[in-house]
Structure 1
Amino acid sequence: MGSRVITPEDVLESLMNDGTIDAIRLKIINQLKANEELKNNTITMVEQSKVLNTPGAEKQTKRELFDALRRELETPVLEKASKAVWELILDNSGLGKEISETVERVYCRLSGHELAPVPPPPSTSDVQLEKEKEMKDKGEGEKTMETENSESSSRKRTFSEMSAQGTEVDANGSVDQPPVVSDDGVLPSANPKT
């Protein structure tokens, strides 16, 4: 039985239902209101507006001026605001990080996975210690391979293997080579008891 696939729509629906989207929207609006550069840009655009600097503008009603200003400046002001919002959303240290963590947490909750804590980036000393450990492990790995190779060469050989290698075997079955250690590490007795 396969597990259910969690879609982006599932995550979005959960964020909308629990009020997270509204909270994020409010944080974005508050940060836009506090954005002095965006405010100053908008003020400059209004001051340089053709609508306000056209002769006879002072004779128009507030409503007429507002509608004319909106038609003239709505697109460029919204483009700048949109750019500022995207900068907030994509910021890896501020609100953008908070959004990413929130989305990941909701996804993990919906999929039934635990969210693993993010390890801190390794310091220079940690990297050096890791390299030393790798070198030590590599050295121990080579020793292990040497031990395995020596163990495989010290296993008991059959009479036919020794004969094929040209080892001299006398009638008692003894050879003119040093004794061979068995797999269990015991030296075979030269005079087995029967």
Structure 2
Amino acid sequence: MTPPPSLPRNLDLERDVITALKRDGALDALRAKTIEQIANDERMKTFTEFAVRGSSTLRSERARAASRNELIEALYRECEGSVLEEARTRTWEALTTTAEGVGREAYERAFERAAKERERGGS
């Protein structure tokens, strides 16, 4: 099955939509909702929990002698990459899932703003 042909892009319209969404505060609101959605994502919480529980830093002999701050810093360095990669994946899913959640809201806001910009500019 061949994919449908892509529509021609109107870069001026895209720029105007983004500018309007920034000006309206919509992008800031979507950012806050995305962060909230990721913070409440049970899969993200579980992934982070397993990363910490499976930490070689916490199982090492040096962990017992380390100060709390040293231990936290070492744990952060160990888990940072994998947890950030998982957060990137979850964020991308949240933003591109147009059936619900923040992805749906972003899609609707961009569509509505594009319609207004087309009316205003005659594009």
Question: TM-score, with normalisation over the residues of structure 2?
Answer: 0.78
Q: Summarize the Cα distance change of 1:7–1:63 in structure 2 as closer, same or farther, 3 Å threshold.
A: farther
Q: CA deviation at 1:7?
A: 4.0
Question: TM-score, with normalisation over the residues of structure 1?
Answer: 0.52
- Which residue does 1:78 correspond to in 2? 84
Contact (CA 8 Å) 1:11, 1:107: kept in 2 or not? Answer: yes
User: Cα deviations across residues 20-53 of structure 1 (Å, max 9, x unaligned)?
Assistant: 1111111111111221111011011101111111
Which structure features the higher share of helix residues? 2
Aligned residue pairs total 110
Contact (CA 8 Å) 1:6, 1:107: kept in 2 or not? Answer: no
Do residues 104 (structure 1) and 111 (structure 2) align? yes
Select the structure of larger CA radius of gyration. Answer: 1
Do residues 64 (structure 1) and 64 (structure 2) align? no
Structure 1 unmatched ranges of 5 or more? 114-194
Q: What's the C-alpha RMSD, in Å, of the aligned pairs?
A: 1.9
User: Cα deviations across residues 85-120 of structure 1 (Å, max 9, x unaligned)?
Assistant: 11111112112222111111112222326xxxxxxx
Percent identity, aligned pairs only, is 31
Contact (CA 8 Å) 2:17, 2:114: kept in 1 or not? Answer: yes
User: Cα deviations across residues 47-76 of structure 1 (Å, max 9, x unaligned)?
Assistant: 111111110212212222222122111111
> Which one-letter code corresponds to 1:101 in the other structure?
E
The 2-side partners of 1:91 and 1:112 are apart by 27
Do residues 15 (structure 1) and 25 (structure 2) align? no
The 1-side partners of 2:25 and 2:85 are apart by 27
Q: Give the match's secondary structure for 2:12.
A: coil
Q: Summarize the Cα distance change of 1:70–1:9 in structure 2 as closer, same or farther, 3 Å threshold.
A: farther
Q: Give the match's secondary structure for 1:112.
A: helix
Q: CA deviation at 1:6?
A: 2.6
- Point out which structure has higher relative CO (alpha carbons under 8 A, 6+ apart): 2
